[in-house]
Amino acid sequence: MFSSKGSDVSSISPSISMELDQSETDKVEVDDIKTEDQSSNETFEETVKKLQSADQGSEIPSNLPGGVVMDQLYIIATEDLNVLLFSPNSNFAKSLADIQGTTELQMSPWKLENDNMSMKRSVTYIKAATKLIKAVKAYEEQTYLKADEKNFAVLASVSTPDVMYGSTFKAEVLYVITPGPELPSGEQCSRLVISWRMNFLQSTMMKGMIENGARQGMKDSFDQYATLLSQTVKPVDSKDLGSTKEQALASLKADPQSDLKLAMQYFANFTFISTFLMGLYVLIHMCLVAPTTIQGLEFFGLDLPDSVGEVVVCTLLVLQGQRMLSLILRFMRARARNGSDHGIKAQGDGWLLTVALIEGSNIAAVDSNGLCNPYVVFTCNGKTRTSSIKFNKSDPLWNEIFEFDALDDPPSVLDVVVYDFDGPFDEAASLGHAEINFLKTNISDLADLRVSLEGKLAQACHTKLHLKIFLDNTRGGNVVKHYLSKMEKEVGKKINLRSPQTNSAFQKLFGLPPEEFLINDFTCHLKRKMPLQGRLFVSARILGFHAKLFGHKTKFFLLWEDIEDIQVVPPTFSSMGSPIIVITIRQGRGADAKHGAKTQDEQGRLKFHFQSFVSFNVANR
C-alpha cells in the first residue's frame, strides 16, 4: 500500500516475474538444469580459466555501501578458495544450507556470456522460516565481476518476491577474494571480504524498515557462514599475522663493510691518487735535495719560492691538498651518519610507522664520472630519518630499518627524497623524490612496494626504490573511541560514533582506506564564482567536499596537515549574510583540489571558501 503508483513492472528482474506460477517454474528450472548438466562437459576450473584468459585487467570492485559483514584471512590459495565457495561440485553450499535450514537448493551450471567476458549462474532455494516471516522462495543470480590469476569477485543478487514488499527490492552481496600477506610459514593466504546493499527497484516508504531488517538478517546469516568456513579452512591467527612484520624485517641483513674497504672505494679516484703521488714526489725530493742558503727576503724558518715555476708548483700543491682535505672530512661525516636504527624501537602508544629501505635501482649520477653517493631521507609528521650513504653505487643495497615514534593521529603522507652526498658545490643534490599517501593506498599494499621517483634526473633514469612499510596501531580496537574522546575535549561538544554503513559510504565516496573514519558532515556552500551547495565531510585526516548539480559532480579533499590557516570572514552581501570559513593551504600542496579553490594568493597558496552552514558555530568548532 506504500509503494509508489505507476511503477513499471518491466523494471523488475525477469527472475522475479517468472514466479507467477511457481509450480510450473520449478519444473522448468529442474528440467533446464538437467539438460544443461548433460550438455556441458567442461569442469568449473576450465570455465574459470576461460574467463581469466578474457580478463582485461579491470579493477577489483569496491565494497558495497551497505557495509562489510565479513573480512577474514584464510590459509588457502585464492584459486582453491574460489573453487570451495562457488564450484558446483563443492559441498560447502550444501553444508551451509543444512545449517541455515535452507531446503530445495537448486544450482544451475555456470555459463560464459559476452564472448567469455562474464560468467553467470542461477540458484533457487527456500529460506527457512523465522520469527517474523514464513518460509519463502529465493531467486539468486551470481555473476563474476572479476577473475584473473589471483583475484576473484562475485556479485550475488537475491530476490524474495513472496515477502512483504518483496517486489520493490533486491539484496546484493559482493564476495571479493584477494591474496593476503605473506605468512612466516610460507603458506599461501587469501582474504575474503563480503559486503552487501539493498537495491530498491521501486521507491517505498518502508525503505528504512526493510534495510534494518535485512541488516540483522545479513549479520546472522554470515555469522553462520563464517563459522562453517572456519571449520572447513583454517583462518589466519592474529598472532601469525602480527609476526609477518617481524618475519619480514628479521630477514633483512645490512651489507657489512669495514671502514678500510669503504675508504678504498671512496678514495679510489683521480684526485686522491694524483695528490698522493705528488705528495710522495715532494717528500722524496726533500730527502734528496741539499738545504739552500738564506737569500733575498728570506730568514730562518721562512723559505720563499725562488722562481715563478716554484710559485706555480706550490699553488698546485695547496689546491690539491685542499681538495684532499675536503674528501677526508666528507668521508668522516658520512661514516658518522650510520643511517639505520636497527635495534632501536619506537617509543609511545599509538600509530607506529616502520619503514624498511631495501634497495635502489638506476639512481642518477650528478658527477661526470657517472657515479653517485646516494642516501635517502624519510619525513613523516615533521620527523625525519636518514639512511646511510652508499659510495659509488647506482644500484645500492641498504637493507635498513627505520621506526618513527608512535603518533596519536594516523599519518597521512610519507615523503621520500634521494640525495647525492657529493652534489655540486659540496651541497647535497636531490636525485629524485616520491610521496606515499596513506589515504590513497591500503596498508596491506605497502608491505612490499616499489616506488618510482619523480624529478628530471629520476624520471630520465627510471629510478626506483624498494620499500617495505608497516603501519600499526598499538591501541587495538579502541582507535576511534580514543580519537573521538580527545576531539570532544578540544571542541567542547559530544561527538557521536558514526555507523559502519555511513563510514563505508564515506570511504567509497572519496576512495579512502578502511581505517579512515568519519567524524561529522555538514551541509554548506562552496564559494567559487557561484555558490555550490554540497556537503563538507570531516574525518581524522581529511576535510572533504562533495556536491552534485544536474549530474555534474564536484569532489575533492584536503589533508589536515596541508592546511596552513583557517580564518572566519564576517558576513557580506555576497555570502548571503553568512560567515565564511576561509581555509588556506600550504604552498605547493592541494594540487588535486585546485578546482575547488576560490583564489590563489601571490605566494601560490590555494584558498577555499565555505559558507551557509546550518549551524555555523558547530561547524566552525
pLDDT band of 304, cuts 50, 70, 90: confident
Give the pLDDT mean for 173-181.
88
- Per DSSP (E only), the strands in 562-612 are 563-569, 580-585, 599-600, 606-611
pLDDT band of 60, cuts 50, 70, 90: confident
Domain at 351-473, CATH homologous superfamily: C2 domain (2.60.40.150)
> Which architecture, in CATH terms, is 44-236?
2-Layer Sandwich (3.30)
> Is residue 350 within 8 Å of residue 475, measured between CB atoms?
yes
pLDDT in tens, 263-288: 776 677 777 888 888 888 888 888 88
Predicted pLDDT of residue 609: 93
Rounded to whole angstroms, how far apart are CA atoms 553 and 35?
Answer: 49
pTM: 0.58
Q: Characterize the bridge pairing of strands 542-549 and 531-539.
A: antiparallel
Helix (H, G, I), strand (E, B) or coil at 157: strand
Q: Per-residue pLDDT for 562 more than 50?
A: yes
- Hey, where are the domains in the chain? 44-236, 351-473, 478-620
Q: Which residue has the higher pLDDT, 130 or 228?
A: 228
Rounded to whole angstroms, how far apart are CA atoms 608 and 590?
Answer: 11
CB neighbours of residue 52 within 10 Å? 18
Rounded to whole angstroms, how far apart are CA atoms 51 and 39?
Answer: 19
- Average confidence score pLDDT of the chain: 80
Give the pLDDT mean for 573-588.
86
Rounded to whole angstroms, how far apart are CA atoms 310 and 306?
Answer: 7
Give the pLDDT mean for 495-509.
85
Same topology between domain 351-473 and domain 478-620: no
Predicted pLDDT of residue 410: 81
> Is residue 185 within 8 Å of residue 149, measured between CB atoms?
no
Predicted pLDDT of residue 610: 93
> Could you tell me the fold of the domain covering 478-620?
PH-domain like (2.30.29)
CB neighbours of residue 78 within 10 Å? 22
Give the pLDDT mean for 369-374.
74
Rounded to whole angstroms, how far apart are CA atoms 592 and 558?
Answer: 9
User: Which of 580, 509, 579 is CA-nearest to residue 542?
Assistant: 509
Give the pLDDT mean for 568-591.
86
CB neighbours of residue 444 within 10 Å? 15
